[in-house]
Amino acid sequence: MSFEEAKVKAERLRGRFDAPFSFSDKKEIEVMYWEVLGKRLSPTNCQQCYHDALIEIYLYLKNNNKMKEKSNYRLRAGFIINTPAFNNGKVYSNANLTDEVAESYLAKYPKQVKMFEVLPKGFSVKSVQTKAKKAEAEAAKKAEEEAKIAAEKEAEAKRLEEEAKKAEAEAEAAGSDEGAGEGTEEGTGEASPEKEGDGEPKTENDAVGEE
């Protein structure tokens, strides 16, 4: 079912919203619920449940302008992913399962393929493991590069800091030499900004005059 088809169907069913849905309408809503939202609507006697489902479908189409992307992997009913050693023990069910999570889980625990009732076409544990290894290698490479860049930056910062310190020390040494030689009243030999008249206006008139 395409997005356009779903939209037209939802609009049509919405027009009959105030009347009870027929058997075929209910079937149509069940199908749309899966196609648009990727969730199963349990067949039921409850008319209100179908009305609620239609509102959910309609609002999703209106707000997102697309149908929900479905995972290529689907767990069997009753199975969840709940492994302390996987993704810090985060719990996954069909509601939050993504292809990436499923693939990385199966790469790590290939025997758990029995937990899935839907797998992508051409799926094999080996291919998933290869993909995971590749992704892992890429991630490691990226992390290494990032670490290298960070180390370079750190070294550069350190070098600049050392240079600044060195320059400061040299300036201090030069200053003390001059001070000792001239024997001025100030003693330090460092230039005083106020005494040098560095442009700091003393009065408003001075400032205007300078402008």
Task: State the residues that interact with other proteins by CB under 8 A.
Answer: 20, 23, 38-49, 75-80, 82, 91, 93-95, 114-115, 117
Nearer to other proteins, 46 or 137 (CB): 46
Q: CA 28 to CA 30: how far, in whole Å?
A: 5
- Minimal distance in Å, beta carbon 118 to other proteins? 9
The CA-based dihedral angle spanning residues 84, 88, 91, 92, taken in that order and rounded to the nearest 10 degrees:
-110
- Minimal distance in Å, beta carbon 82 to other proteins? 6
Nearer to other proteins, 52 or 190 (CB): 52
Nearer to other proteins, 31 or 132 (CB): 31
Nearer to other proteins, 6 or 75 (CB): 75
- The first and second tokens of residue 91, run together, are 């719990």
Q: CA 45 to CA 139: how far, in whole Å?
A: 51
Cβ-Cβ contacts under 8 Å for 188 (sequence gap 6 or more): 175, 176, 179
- Minimal distance in Å, beta carbon 51 to other proteins? 9
- Minimal distance in Å, beta carbon 109 to other proteins? 14
C-alpha distances in Å from residue 64, one per residue of 56, 68, 96, 157: 12, 9, 18, 47
Nearer to other proteins, 7 or 74 (CB): 74
Count CA atoms closer than 13 A to 124's CA, side-chain side: 4
- Minimal distance in Å, beta carbon 30 to other proteins? 11
Contact criterion met (CB below 8 Å) for 30 and 41:
yes
**Single-letter code of the amino acid located at 106:** L
- Minimal distance in Å, beta carbon 131 to other proteins? 24
Contact criterion met (CB below 8 Å) for 7 and 67:
no
Nearer to other proteins, 50 or 58 (CB): 50
- Tokens 């040098």, residue located: 196
